[in-house]
Every structure is written in C-alpha cells, then in structure tokens.
C-alpha cells in the first residue's frame, strides 16, 4: 500500500481545511487506512459504531452480496478498530466524522456539457456545491449551553479529496468526500470518465415537511444512503447506461434528505435520476446532446420552473431561479463553450449572487444574516483528461456598503494518474 496526504487549502481565516488523500492498494487496505484516519484524527472508537444487531446484520449481508468492493473496505476499516467485521454489534458500512447526525444538503447547481458543445471537444461537468457555513447546532436546534455550541465547528470544515487506486476491483477514482470518510462522495470522476454529482431534492423536503423520514442514531434501514450511492457508481460503472441500471437496481435510502443525481459519461451521454417524493417511482430524464442542467427541484414534474417564481426570489424558490438563470445563459450562448465560459455560467448562480439578487428583491431583509448557505466549492470536471479543478470558499469580508462578500481560492487542479485517456 502507498499513501500520500497533503493539505491543499487552510488558513486561520478559512472556513474549510481541505486535504488530498491518495491511497494505492487493495480495497481492504484502502478501508484500513480510512479507519486508521478516523482513529488518529477524529478520535473514533468501536463505541462509535454500536448498532442494532438485527439491522446491522441485514446491512452487512446486503453489502457482502451486492457491493463486494465496499465489503472489502468495511473489512479493512474493522481491522483498524480491532473488530470482527461480522460482529453485528457494530456497523462499519459508513464512517461518519465531525457529525453525530448526518446533515442535509440545501442546494447545488450542475451542468453537463457533452463534447460536441465545447471548444476542446471534451466533455465537462460543472458543479456548485452549496452548503451551510454553520455547525450541527445551527442546523438542528438542540438544548446545549452557549459554551458547548461555541466549540462546535462548521459541519463543512474538513472535506477530503479522495484519490483511490484499488488493486483488486473497482475503477480508480478522484472524488470529494465529507460526512462519511469511507463513502461520503459529493462529486467525483472515475478512470473511465464517468462523473457523478448529487443534489438535495428541495421540493420533496418541503412537501414532506414533518413527515421527512430521518434516520438518526442507530439506523433501522438496509441499503445504501444517498452519498454511498455515488461511491457505488464510481466504483462499478463506466457508462451512463451502466449507471442507470445500477441506480434502478440498488436498494436506496436517505439519511436526512431525499436527493437526485446528474450523471455523465465520457462519450457525452448524461441523465438525471430522481425518486418520486413518496419514493414509490423512479424517474430518468435523458440528456439530449445539449447541455443538461439540474438544481434542486424535481425535473420530472416541472420541465420548466417558471410557475415557482411568482412573487420574486425567496429562499423557498431560489433553486428555480438558479435553474432559469443557468438555462437562459446556456441558451443565449453562441458557438462552442470554453472552460472559462463554463466556469462563469456556474458563477452566475454562486450563492453570493443568489443572495445579492434576493436582497435586490427584498431590500428590507438582511439576507446574508438570515441565510448561512454558501457555495463551498465549484468543481469543473474534464472527462477526457480525467482532471478536476476546485475553487473553494474561504470566508467573507464586509464590503464598503456594509454588506458581506465572499473570498474564494484560486482553482486547484487534480488529475487521475490512471485515467485511460491522456489529458491535454
């Protein structure tokens, strides 16, 4: 096994510390190193994984049968903790960190650009990951003394860029993880050029309201949670067609929020996958060869979001505003898209721009004070070269007019060394 780690973004005035962890070895060794990291950096012990044996046994058997790559990583993680992986008093199918409860994902904006639409003739996926700058206590009201709340850091304080080269099964991949060290994939690319992205289904969250089925504490559910589904696709799928079949066949659940996915392969095929609000139907919205756009409402129900925007921009309909803004920019563009133009299109729905537009619609409200979401990163995947560029949110300053403006880092580029197509 060969492991390297470097910190790529940190600072006293930065919200996030971002690390890049590369592991080459068997899936067992990848899992063991991730388990060691959970012990060394986050203080985990076997007690952290205590589980209801009935459900833990079913989850273990499901992973053993349907996701053997992940089972090897679970075995490795168990060895780091000195546990028998088949001891159903414990559940290591995921390794949560920095949170005791899995958090929600409030927003995201993603566009897939097929090779035929770009100036380089390569496919791109451009993604804003929007999340709260707050702590667990900010997102979930809890009876804690002020000093305890003050000690809780932002939930999004330590994402990891995971670059894995498994030697005994599964594609090499480069993905950004948070919340779950072992399988908390938020977006990523594998060595076949398949890119995966996830977005919260904000429409379902609002419709379900108090009937949202949270899985807090010991989980009474079997299958893969919303981020593990992404890891499965990176590990096992080379094409959009394979990813469709995997999503239709996998047993899914959500830990805190329903989500949907935009997936794109190297050849330019893309699709959006959604579950119905009641999770009683599955929907696949096919790409047409043009740029495919997705934010946080159900595309299968609303091919266009215009009815949602009556009454101006609000926190309830801002995902429809982002969708309309992006689709209008894409439609108005003439000629082939350059990488810089693709970046600017996503920048127009950066959460700072959303708040500025909301403030213009509602000048009587201190929008920045009432909304903690920011665009934590913009990622631009170049599918043929197997590379990704990240620009991370650092923090914010007070402008001359008293409003707040964000600080962002320069783009950092990472490349999968085993990408099957040479980059350029």
Question: What is the predicted pLDDT for the residue at 152?
Answer: 63
Residue of 297 and 340 predicted with greater confidence: 340
Count each helix (H run) and each strand (E run) in the chain, helices first: 12, 16
Residue of 312 and 68 predicted with greater confidence: 68
DSSP helix/strand/coil, 52 = coil
Residue of 210 and 57 predicted with greater confidence: 57
In total, how many domains does the chain have? 1
Q: Does 421 fall in a domain?
A: no
Using alpha carbons only, give the angle 345, 346, 347 rounded to the nearest 5 degrees.
90
| Complete DSSP assignment for 105-140 | --EEEEEEE-GGGBTTS--EEEEEEEEESS-HHHHS
As beta bridge partners, residue 391 has 378
Q: Look up the CATH number of the domain holding residue 174.
A: 3.60.60.10
pLDDT band at 372 (very low <50, low <70, confident <90, very high): confident
Residue of 292 and 219 predicted with greater confidence: 292
**Mean pLDDT over residues 309-320, rounded?**
82
Question: What is the predicted pLDDT for the residue at 145?
Answer: 61
Query: Does 370 score more than 50 pLDDT?
Result: yes
Q: How far is Cα 313 from Cα 304, in angstroms, rounded to an integer?
A: 16
Q: How far is Cα 315 from Cα 29, in angstroms, rounded to an integer?
A: 44
The pTM (predicted TM-score) of the whole model is 0.93
Tell me what the pLDDT averaged over the chain comes to.
Answer: 90
Q: How far is Cα 421 from Cα 417, in angstroms, rounded to an integer?
A: 10
pLDDT band at 149 (very low <50, low <70, confident <90, very high): low
Query: Does 280 score more than 90 pLDDT?
Result: yes
Q: Does 61 fall in a domain?
A: yes
Q: Does 424 fall in a domain?
A: no
Q: Does 422 fall in a domain?
A: no
Q: Does 420 fall in a domain?
A: no
Query: Does 57 score more than 70 pLDDT?
Result: yes
Q: Does 9 fall in a domain?
A: yes
Q: Which helix (DSSP H) or strand (DSSP E) does residue 176 occupy?
A: strand 173-177
Range of 305's domain? 2-415
Question: What is the predicted pLDDT for the residue at 102?
Answer: 42
Tell me the pLDDT tens digit for each residue of 208-254: 988 888 776 677 899 999 999 999 999 999 999 999 999 999 999 99
Q: Does 100 fall in a domain?
A: yes
Question: What is the predicted pLDDT for the residue at 424?
Answer: 32
Question: What is the predicted pLDDT for the residue at 316?
Answer: 82
Question: What is the predicted pLDDT for the residue at 174?
Answer: 98
Q: Does 188 fall in a domain?
A: yes
């Amino acid at each position: 096994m060969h492991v390297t780690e470097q910190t790529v973004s940190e600072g006293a005035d930065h919200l996030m510390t971002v690390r890049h962890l590369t592991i080459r070895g068997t899936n067992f060794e990848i899992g063991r190193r991730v388990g060691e990291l959970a012990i060394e950096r986050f203080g985990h012990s076997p007690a952290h994984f205590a589980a209801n044996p009935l459900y833990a046994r079913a989850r273990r058997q499901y992973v053993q049968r349907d996701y053997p790559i992940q089972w090897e990583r679970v075995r490795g993680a168990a060895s780091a903790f000195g546990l028998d992986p088949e001891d159903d008093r414990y559940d290591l199918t995921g390794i949560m960190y920095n949170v005791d409860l899995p958090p929600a994902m409030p927003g995201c904006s993603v566009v897939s650009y097929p090779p035929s639409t770009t100036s380089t003739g390569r496919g791109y996926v451009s993604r804003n990951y929007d999340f709260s700058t707050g702590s667990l206590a900010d997102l979930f009201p809890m009876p804690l003394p002020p000093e305890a709340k003050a000690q809780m850091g932002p939930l999004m304080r330590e994402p990891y860029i995971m670059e894995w080269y498994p030697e005994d099964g599964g594609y090499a991949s480069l993905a950004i993880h948070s919340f779950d060290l072992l399988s908390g994939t938020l977006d990523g690319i594998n060595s076949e050029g398949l890119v995966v992205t996830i977005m919260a289904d904000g429409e379902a969250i609002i419709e379900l309201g108090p009937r949202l089925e949270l899985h807090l504490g010991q989980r009474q559910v079997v299958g893969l949670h919303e981020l593990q589904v992404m890891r499965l696709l990176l590990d096992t799928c080379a094409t959009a067609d394979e990813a469709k079949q995997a999503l239709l066949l996998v047993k899914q659940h959500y830990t805190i929020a329903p989500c949907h996915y935009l997936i794109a392969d190297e050849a330019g095929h893309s699709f959006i996958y959604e579950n119905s609000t009641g999770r009683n139907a599955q929907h696949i919205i096919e790409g047409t060869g043009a740029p495919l756009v997705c934010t946080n409402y159900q595309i299968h129900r609303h091919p266009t979001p215009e009815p949602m925007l009556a009454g101006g921009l609000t926190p309830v309909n801002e995902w429809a505003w982002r969708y309309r803004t992006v689709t209008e920019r894409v439609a108005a563009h003439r000629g082939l898209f350059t990488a810089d133009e693709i970046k600017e299109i996503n920048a127009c729905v950066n959460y700072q721009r959303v708040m500025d537009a909301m403030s213009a619609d509602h000048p009587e409200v201190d929008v920045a004070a009432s909304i903690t979401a920011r665009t934590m990163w913009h990622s631009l995947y170049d599918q043929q070269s197997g590379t990704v560029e990240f620009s991370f949110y650092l923090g914010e300053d007070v402008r001359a007019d008293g409003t707040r403006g964000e600080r962002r880092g320069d783009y950092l580029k990472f490349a999968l060394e085993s990408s099957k197509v040479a980059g350029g």
